[in-house]
Amino acid sequence: MEISVKEKGGVTVLTLNGRLDLASGTTLKEQVKAQLKKGNTMIHLNLAQVDFINSSGLGALVSIMKEVRLQKGRFTLSNLATYVQEIFEITQLSHIFEIFATEEEALSSFHTAVAR
């Protein structure tokens, strides 16, 4: 799993490439925690290049969501592949996470929220 991190308009965007499983989920959690430590609590994950996720990967995302909420931040996801979307739906996690079709839509939602 490759993870690239960029800052876009106050939002920390992590772009993932590869499989989100036990090992990569742990790496992802560590990277997000490092961002939270720096005070970056607006986090977006672009999952366009994630072609596999299992319960360990889902667990990592749930853990991140809880951690971000604890820090009073916001955590969004975008660009879920069909298979990944299916996993979110059958576990009903699609009702819990803020999921957007595109990264642009997700980032724009952060700005809308700030403007309110």
Residues that bind another protein (CB under 8 A): 19, 21-24, 26, 52, 54-56, 58-60, 62-63, 66, 83, 87, 90-93, 95-96
Q: What is the closest distance, in whole angstroms, from the C-beta atom of residue 47 to another protein in the complex?
A: 15
Rounded Cα distance between 76 and 45, Å, is: 6
Provide the total of helices (H) and of strands (E) in the chain, helices listed first.
4, 5
Alpha-helical segments (H) within 3-116 = 22-37, 55-70, 82-90, 103-115
Closer residue to another protein (CB): 88 or 107? 88
Query: Is 48 or 93 the residue whose CB approaches another protein more closely?
Result: 93
Nearer to another protein, 52 or 73 (CB): 52
Q: What are phi and psi of 5, to 5 degrees?
A: -120, 130
Q: How far is the CB of 26 from another protein (least distance, A)?
A: 7
In whole angstroms, how close is the CB of 59 to another protein at the nearest point?
4
CA distance 28 to 14: 9
